[in-house]
Structure 1
Amino acid sequence: MTQPLSIEAGEKGSAAQTLSPARPVSLQRTVLGACAGALMEYYDFSIYATLTIYLSLSFFPPDNPAIAVLLAVSSMGVAFVVRPIGGFIFGSLGDRWGRRKIFIVTLFLMSVATIGIGALPGYATLGVAAPILLVGLRVLQGFAVGGEYAAASTYVVEHSPRKKRGYYTGWLASMAGTAIVLALLAVALVQTTMSKADFQAWGWRVPFLLATLLLVVSLVIRRQLSESPVFRELERTGRTARTPLGDILGNWPAAREILAVSIGISAPQVTSGVVGSMLSLYLLQTLTSVDPATSNLLVAAGCISAIPMTVFAGWLSDYRGRRTVQIAGMALGVLFYIPLFHALLASIGNKPLALLIIVALQVPSSLVVGAAFSAIPEIFPAERRATSVAIVSSLGGVIGGLAPAISLWLTNKGGLTLGAAWPVAILLVGMIVNWRWVPSRTGAEIL
């Protein structure tokens, strides 16, 4: 359990009420609980992205494989499109009912959708109903994710010491890379136990169904957690918002700030994350002769490097500021994404070089993502923090989540340079907005 509120004397003799951070063991348990759910969330999305080729063969008409892949990738983007709806609802409930309750509900909904995809009959059995039901399950995933990110990041920030928020949320942010590695390794492991024909026919479902194990472990851990000390203080003092969403929509400065943070932090965060991992995977699987198993292992090995880099970026943001670290990551992406993608496709005959390039692609995303998880919750007032973070992450997710589909479409139309220019443009605009309009509140008071 966390330590109770304490009253400390101010410099002029007045009582200044402060929140004591959790004891080390309690704080570790808090971060572990948040990370468990985040791992489940990112595994859900990563396993879908990893198996896009097989999903396109199972759920979409087989007439045109390239179009089927594009439709499968687009259905992944659908989940990002509905994220704002989930963000509006679950974020508002998180400010009214508490952070802990919401991220238990969202975790369960995400898991149901993932397991459902693994059990859903394909196009050969259901016909046109198969892709419709697949999209429906993706909608459910996106709806749940809209609240999960906000609840988890807000929860960890509100438990962490002021000068270590970036470090602890860096662990939460690193779950993206961890989940990608876990998903890719799960697929590779299953592929080694059966023939290519069996994996294409039914074996691809196994990694989806393995989410059941993650669900059980994550729920057990999260149910043992206590509510955020900041939210408990809001309840004690009667400051919980009754209509946090209405308070935002009816307040232009608040709405403008949310829009700026969505474009200046969240969109580059999501975009850089999917570019460094999933877009690399798609390009290897669709534009080269590298077999899916090899491309999965290459990207998994590259993403392992993102785990310590993301934690380091969070730690660094505690000392150098969130804005500095984020803009550094965006600038690296703007400068090097296009040449790195060209180098990746040119290196397919040299696996060590391809791996080195994939590792290099993780650097921009690690810096942006590692600092963003603490930067976004710090910006907003406690009374509407979960709602604000949910809206920001959802709006940014719409922009960034569609980046792979748009990039693939542009690549098919005008070549790799045009396709890679889309994420570069998102990061460039994000840099400008972040520098000009996004407040930097590293280590600021959060209550």
Structure 2
Amino acid sequence: MAQQHGPHSAEDVTVTPPDIVRRAVAAAGIGNVTEWYDFGVYAYLEKTIQTVFLPPGTPGGPVIVAALFAASFLVRPFGGLFFGPLADRIGRTKTLATTMVLMALATFGIGVLPTYSAIGIGAPVLLLLCRLVQGFSTGGEYGGAMTFVAEYAPDRRRGFLCSWLESGTLTGYVLGAGIVTILQTTLGESSPTMLSWGWRIPFLVALPLGAVGLYLRYRLEETPAFSQLTEQSGEQGQQSFTRFFRSAARLGWRPVLVCMGLVIAFNVSSYMLTTVMPTYLTETLGEYGAPTISTTTSQVLQMIVLAVLLAIVPVLGRLSDRVGRRPVVIAGCVLLLVLSWPAVLLLQTGAIGGVFVGLLLLGLTLVCFEGTMPATLPALFPTGVRYGLLAITFNVAVSAFGGTSSVIVQGLISLTGWLTVPAVYLTFAGIVGAAAVWFLPESNARPLPGSRPAASSQEEARELAEAAG
């Protein structure tokens, strides 16, 4: 990775006013809210989706529903491959607006699908198509959101500002899970009303969420980093796909592999808590003779844990601006190795207190990554290929190991009968993350590769110039 040179004067520093940065964070974060809102809704409606979209008594119904969820991750790399280089060619704002529209429409589309009782096997096929559109759009969404905020954020506050993306993630999941829980409590989880039209309501809410996101994103101009790139070389700013891959090849494999390792640790932790645990606690344990808890209890406990994480994420983002990204990420990897086994054993007790502590321990393994990854990953790549390489690498890792966690864990438990499979998978993620962070360069308080130093005020710009001089 190329060395960054300090500014010769305050004029060499990009100054972005705090109000514009806040708008950028909000515009990018609403996409995370929408994306993870869908995940929360789907995870909490898995039993209902199985009843509504599959033939009655389908063998392996939970595995099929998990596979339908995981199917969207199979096309995410293709979405990253399409939208990533496109954003490095035509700009971040237009691309993120497109992914926002596709994601909202696909989620809304699930809410208006006919059921199995209405059209037979066509129902799960249409559900699969909607999930594939969601996955394709998401392939260009999260990596782009990280790039967008990182390129707007001042160097000294990038960790804190980027961490709000994960606050959007948690907010979206809690919002989706909360709406489903309220509906299931008021209508009844398996009531005729819930199975007739109640399950549709959470999916339909995605459309107004998407409209808000689209409005916020269209109000913003291009990021300072991308604008500088196009000013310096219009040819670079409008590079072809072929030139994008040539530029990417010149970087070598190291940043790509480091990014992939960190994403595996980050996303296995995330999907284990948010998509594996709801089914694990209420169904999987019972299938093997272990005590389970009710769906409502599981949902409430998980939302409490996520609310706790929501408060911690920006604190760790700010901490990473002070002590560096690497120490916080290393702490997350160590916690994965130390806490995964006791957490899973506590989950198997069936006691509300034990399950809550187990979920909280899983949350603590995750929160170190949530507070740092949105600022750490964009700093691995230069401006001209940042969006594209991050989108491609992120989604390949997520598709192979993160979003498929539910299918992998369910499949391994079915194969082996081991209820400790989640701990094994989390330990694997911790080892991979530790190996990646060993080669991770510290990016705290430094300009993004290929970009000028960034500050939030002229005074801070002068301080950066004086420090460099």
Pair in the same fold by TM > 0.5: yes
Q: 1:304-383 maps to which residues of 2 (within 5 A)?
A: 304-346=307-349, 348-349=350-351, 351-383=352-384
Question: What SS is found at the alignment partner of 1:136?
Answer: helix
The match for 2:33 among 39, 44, 62 is 39
Give the superposition deviation at 1:412. 2.5
Alpha-carbon distance change, 269 to 30 in structure 1, aligned in 2, over 3 angstroms:
same
Distance 1:394 1:252 in 2: 18
Maintained 8 Å contact 1:275/1:404: yes
Give the superposition deviation at 1:244. 5.3
Give the superposition deviation at 1:419. 4.0
Q: Which residue of 1 aligns with 2:427?
A: 424
Alpha-carbon distance change, 394 to 155 in structure 1, aligned in 2, over 3 angstroms:
same
Q: 1:23-34 maps to which residues of 2 (within 5 A)?
A: 23-34=17-28
The match for 2:213 among 206, 218, 221 is 218
Alpha-carbon distance change, 250 to 214 in structure 1, aligned in 2, over 3 angstroms:
closer
Distance 1:146 1:174 in 2: 20
Give the superposition deviation at 1:362. 0.8
Q: 1:119-158 maps to which residues of 2 (within 5 A)?
A: 119-158=112-151
Distance 1:245 1:257 in 2: 21
Alpha-carbon distance change, 251 to 221 in structure 1, aligned in 2, over 3 angstroms:
closer
Alpha-carbon distance change, 179 to 353 in structure 1, aligned in 2, over 3 angstroms:
same
Maintained 8 Å contact 1:258/1:388: no
Give the superposition deviation at 1:440. 3.2
Maintained 8 Å contact 1:260/1:438: no
Distance 2:14 2:414 in 1: 54
Maintained 8 Å contact 1:80/1:142: yes
Matching of residue 101 in structure 1 with residue 104 in structure 2: no
Maintained 8 Å contact 1:249/1:255: no
Distance 1:194 1:356 in 2: 30
Give the superposition deviation at 1:251. 5.3
Give the superposition deviation at 1:293. 2.1
Distance 1:382 1:218 in 2: 24
Q: Which residue of 2 aligns with 1:413?
A: 415
Distance 2:370 2:250 in 1: 26
Alpha-carbon distance change, 337 to 370 in structure 1, aligned in 2, over 3 angstroms:
same
Maintained 8 Å contact 2:90/2:238: no
Maintained 8 Å contact 1:406/1:422: no
Distance 1:295 1:242 in 2: 49
Q: Which residue of 1 aligns with 2:462?
A: none
Q: Which runs of 5+ in 2 are unaligned?
A: 1-5, 287-291, 452-469
Q: 1:1-400 maps to which residues of 2 (within 5 A)?
A: 10=8, 17-20=12-15, 22-64=16-58, 67-195=60-188, 196-197=190-191, 198-238=193-233, 239-240=236-237, 242-243=239-240, 246-248=243-245, 252=249, 254=251, 256-286=253-283, 287-288=285-286, 289-346=292-349, 348-349=350-351, 351-398=352-399, 399-400=401-402
Provide the identity percentage. Answer: 30
Distance 1:325 1:244 in 2: 36
Q: Which residue of 1 aligns with 2:447?
A: 445
Give the superposition deviation at 1:252. 4.5
Give the superposition deviation at 1:144. 0.5
Give the superposition deviation at 1:291. 2.3
Give the superposition deviation at 1:140. 0.6
Give the superposition deviation at 1:216. 2.1
Give the superposition deviation at 1:248. 3.5
Give the superposition deviation at 1:97. 0.9
Maintained 8 Å contact 1:81/1:397: no
Maintained 8 Å contact 2:78/2:136: yes
Q: Which has the higher contact order (CA 8 A, sep 6+)?
A: 2
Alpha-carbon distance change, 251 to 99 in structure 1, aligned in 2, over 3 angstroms:
closer
Give the superposition deviation at 1:105. 0.6
Give the superposition deviation at 1:245. 6.2
Runs of 4+ in 1 over 4 A off after TM superposition: 249-253
Alpha-carbon distance change, 356 to 255 in structure 1, aligned in 2, over 3 angstroms:
same
Question: What SS is found at the alignment partner of 1:82?
Answer: helix
- Aligned alpha-carbon RMSD (Å): 2.1
Q: Deviations over 1:403-441 (max 9, x none)?
A: 121112212232111343123212212211331x34332
Q: TM-score, normalised by structure 2?
A: 0.87
Output the amino acid matched with 1:100.
Answer: T
Maintained 8 Å contact 2:346/2:357: no
Output the amino acid matched with 2:40.
Answer: S
Give the superposition deviation at 1:363. 0.9
Identify which range, 74-83 or 100-109, moves more after superposition.
Answer: 74-83
Q: TM-score, normalised by structure 1?
A: 0.91
Output the amino acid matched with 1:309.
Answer: I
Maintained 8 Å contact 1:272/1:364: yes
